[in-house]
Chain A
């Protein structure tokens, strides 16, 4: 561990956020160290639904909608490069994504939300890329599969889609290492100090000296920033999921709450619960998810559930990302968002030049930490 002076930057956190940024950094030619403490408790990256999704992002904030849409549109190029470099098929499907509604009330709420986002886009002379569809349209989209009686319609985006988030993580880490990045797993950062030109990191694997640091550790950013005397206003939102056995392919595009993965299993999500940092599953939530899945596709009733789990979404109070330099700590950066799959393309392409001392990209100018008055 003695010779870590040879790095330009250390990325703390090896999940979807850390890996994307670290990969972008090595691609820009930097010498990058990525460390992860494998804190299994809150690792959102390993329990992700896998949506590449813009249609519901940024109601009331066109800047965030635009950012998400740009990320989705750049995803094909991003994964094309990543797949070629890694040799891993990450199961990208873009071009269709549905937020499905059951009953009239869900449909009218969804209609209202889409109308609002379309209006906001028009105010900027832009176009929101999703629209409402009715039950018949949904039937047309899913083909022969029988829909449940309560299916009333939904909102549809022709740019959204999904990927396998675990393979995305695997591919990004693989290419990061292949391109010369160093990844130390099981390395917990216990102290951060700025001395002279360098950050001195006290870690479970020894001392690390490095001129730049990037905090990309999800909820782990909270204690890291505390070491620098700063607060990070993150909120944990628990989501429970069900996963079924592999079944024959029947659904070629994702719904926001139900998708069939590349291997054939069906992911059924997800609850949104504010229960702090605990990640227990509950049988009542599982029952609710199962009921809803059968209401959508009655044919799924015989399909077996093989496991369920819960994880925490990393939300800010306003739901928007945080990308910022840390005050009084030059060359240190904090990154946090719940949307690390969708935004992966931009995390890799947009953030590195800024982190390496370049200009802050205009498109992220509003995602500062200071908006929370901390």
Chain B
């Protein structure tokens, strides 16, 4: 849904989205990377009915961008910047299971 504006990118990092490696600018937010260079339309599934959801506000309000980052669920992907080696997964409809 989004693309890089500038063709020149100074510094990049490599991240992993759902097992696929991706090179992105080091200043991009996780949510922007997922709906931008990663080419995804949705970032999580609704915990109520499993429907696809994507970030709405991009400023920490709507909580639609919750994703699993480095094994920890429910991270607000729109306010977290990527880091080298970061592993990002879509938030499953229900988190964890107490095990």
Contacts and interface: CB of A to CB of B under 8 A. Distances in A.
Contacts of A329: none
Nearest to B99: A299
Interface in B51-99: 72-74, 94-99
Contacts of A263: 48
B47 interface: yes
B99 A247 contact: no
B96 A303 contact: yes
A245 B47 contact: yes
Interface residues of B, number: 11
Given A245-B74, A304-B74, A250 B97 contact: yes
B99 A146 contact: yes
Nearest to B94: A248
Contacts of A246: 47-48, 94-95
A303 B47 contact: no
**Chain B interface helix/strand/loop/mixed:** loop
A223 interface: no
A154 to B, nearest CB: 17
Interface size class of A (residues with CB under 8 A): 10 to 19
A contact face: mostly helix, strand, loop, or mixed: loop
Nearest to A250: B98
Q: Which residue, of B73, B74, B95, B98, has the highest number of chain A Cβ atoms within 10 A? A: B98
A184 interface: no
A303 B94 contact: no
A226 interface: no
B99 A245 contact: no
Contact of A264 (B47, B72, B74): B47
25 contacts: A145-B98, A145-B99, A146-B99, A245-B74, A245-B95, A246-B47, A246-B95, A247-B95, A247-B97, A248-B94, A248-B96, A248-B98, A249-B97, A250-B97, A250-B98, A264-B47, A264-B94, A266-B98, A299-B97, A299-B99, A302-B73, A302-B96, A304-B73, A304-B74, A304-B95
Given A247-B96, A302-B73, A303-B96, 20 more contacts: A144-B99, A146-B99, A245-B47, A246-B47, A246-B48, A247-B98, A248-B98, A249-B97, A250-B97, A263-B48, A264-B47, A264-B94, A299-B96, A299-B98, A300-B98, A303-B95, A303-B98, A304-B73, A304-B74, A304-B95
The 4 closest A-B pairs by CB, nearest first: A250-B98, A248-B97, A299-B98, A246-B47
